[in-house]
Amino acid sequence: MKIHTRTGDAGQTSLFAGGRVSKDHVRLHAYGSVDELNSLLGVVLAAGLPDALSASVQRVQHDLFIVGADLATPLDAASSYILRVGPEHVQTLEADIDQWEAALPELKHFILPGGSLGAALLHQARTVCRRAERWVVALQAGESINGEVLRYLNRLSDWLFVAARCANRAAGVAETEWRRPDETESPQT
């Protein structure tokens, strides 16, 4: 496969299953944000996570290729080779979340993003996921899309939050609770 095709030099790009759109089309913002999320998850893995969590992040990276392909292919496109996001993708995320939450302390306060490097990057990935979700909502306002994509991204942001909590717990790093300014402790005298 040749990397430089020169077909996008005029500001247009090809969609899977045919058709061309401007590179600033909302569809490209949607799947471009998914691509950015996938790249950030690569950084998360490079930062280091426990093996079981790393395997789950890699599984999500594979899923995000399906999400991107789904978004890059108009819903009415006749294509037998494009994979689509299905309910099973969402169910897998939910199963992970349920399993992880059972092993974590109950969340009673908002927590600040951060902690270990892996956890902090997972929190950042959550915010990129939320941006991708917003772009998919914008795309859905003007075009028909696979509704499972939106469900997947919504659940994935929850998954990333809980994964960050797991990463901190595995690293032995305490979560920092958010406190209202009037609740902060005054210095001891």
Tens digit of each residue's pLDDT (9 = 90 or more) over 72-91: 888 887 767 788 999 999 99
How many Cβ atoms from other residues are within 10 Å of residue 50's Cβ?
A: 14
- What is the Cα–Cα distance from 153 to 161, expressed in whole angstroms? 12
Taking a C-beta distance cutoff of 8 angstroms, is the pair 135, 108 a contact? no
- What is the Cα–Cα distance from 139 to 133, expressed in whole angstroms? 10
Domains annotated for the chain, with CATH where assigned, are 22-75+82-174 (1.20.1200.10)
Confidence of residue 44 (pLDDT cuts 50, 70, 90): very high
- Nearest-CA neighbor of 104 among 125, 119, 88? 119
What pTM was estimated for this model as a whole?
0.86
